[in-house]
Amino acid sequence: MPIAIKMPALSPTMEEGILAKWLVKVGDTVSSGDIMAEIETDKATMEFEAVDEGVIAHIQVDEGTEGVKVGTVIATLAEDGEDVGDVQPAGGGDAAPAPAPAPAVEEAAPAPNPAPAAPTAAPAPAASSGDRIIASPLAKRIAEQKGIDLSGVKGSGPNGRIVKADVEGTQPGAAAPASAPAATPAPAAAPAEAQDFGIPHEVEKLSGMRKTIARRLTESKQQVPHIYLTVDIRLDALLKLRSELNAALEPQGVKLSVNDLMIKALGKSLEAVPACNVQFAGDSMLKFSRADVSVAVSIPNGLITPIVTDAGSKAVSKISTEMKDLATRAKEGKLAPEEYQGGTASLSNMGMFGIKQFEAVINPPQGMIMAIGAGDKRPYVVDDSLQIASVMSATGSFDHRAIDGADGAQLMKAFKEMIEAPLGLVA
């Protein structure tokens, strides 16, 4: 009996993908575990392995096809003993819905959470344009799963946008209570239409990853109230310790980078100031007991954030080894979803590009991100005298709904102290 090969869900929130490349052709024999295709998700290009054994009878979705829904039949496999010429293409059927994200990997499908409202303010009615209900993608998916009619749900997000928290507390069939009509919100400004003005150019189609980066960062800046805190940090002691550690670790083939020590310092700082190791979740807060640090890595198609789990407790040599492996596989598109989805905070280092200081955009639904600038020689007061020291600027971006300024300041203070007195990083 022919076997239908369907578009897989390669991440918990994947709904569709790009069939980037076929690695088999009609007539090829495949076995379980053979790589059949490369599929581009919203995060990375991943390999798709065969589960069954047989001969490729039909390829029903050409490579390069975009927007292939999860569950769509992309090829037909003939089982042993079947004549490939007699096998008919398997039916497409309905595309299976993508699985709802589990809390542990909710980072992969951020829900724009509602900003806290003033105590006397009533929630705005669901914003609509004509017959269109304005709601976040996650809210729409939850509503569909629970059988909720969004036309009767009041949106508490900006401009009455329906968000995750609005539908989670709504029962199927429940009617929204009547309320006084609210003023119609001003429509959000649409992006300016691209115009080339006759300037020579080429058009490059956005990859799935670039579209996701654009959407997520736009939502982050629109939905998350950022607060930025910057400190200058003297690096001389850290650089001296790194040199000594590398000399000791050379026989093991381990070479620490400054970034490895920064990851460790952020992990320990989050453990020391747990009020910053949190995530805003509408009417509740997630308080994490472990610091998993997502590290920004630039790859050809955009940016990905592999995770160093339990960064505060790991030895710096272990962090260094893991980070090199994660960065290499990230650039090759070979990370597993659990290796880049999640994390309790992020670190972005642009010091290698000579950037002295910058403010990073929070990676939702995380509560903070640390931006590391370049270390350079600067005039610096040491023991009440002006000296020349190696100094860098670090800026923390905090979700002000979850983290107060004073708590953010405590984290920046802890981070600075750990780098300026770095023996605690190897204790």
Active site residues: 400
Torsions phi, psi of 355, nearest 5? -75, 120
Closest-CA residue to 425 (of 261, 213, 256): 261
SS (H, E, C) the chain: CCEEEECCCCCCCCCEEEEEEECCCCCCEECCCCEEEEEECCCCEEEEECCCCEEEEEECCCCCEEEEECCCEEEEEECCCCCHHHCCCCCCCCCCCCCCCCHHHHHHCCCCCCCCCCCCCCCCCCCEECCEECECHHHHHHHHHHCCCHHHCCCCCHHHCECHHHHHCCCCCCCCCCCCCCCCCCCCCCCCCCCCCCCCCCCCCCCHHHHHHHHHHHHHHHHCCEEEEEEEEECHHHHHHHHHHHHHHHHHCCCCCHHHHHHHHHHHHHHHCHHHCEEECCCCEEECCCCCEEECEEECCEEECCEECCCCCCCHHHHHHHHHHHHHHHHCCCCCHHHCCCCCEEEEECHHHCCCCCCCCCCCCCCEEEEECCCEEEEEEECCEEEEEEEEEEEEEEECCCCCHHHHHHHHHHHHHHHHCHHHHCC
* In the block, residue with structure tokens 């037909």: 76
Q: How far is CA 210 from CA 158, 216, 225, 257, in A?
A: 24, 10, 23, 28
* In the block, residue with structure tokens 């093991």: 252
180: left (phi over 0), alpha (psi -120 to 50) or beta: beta
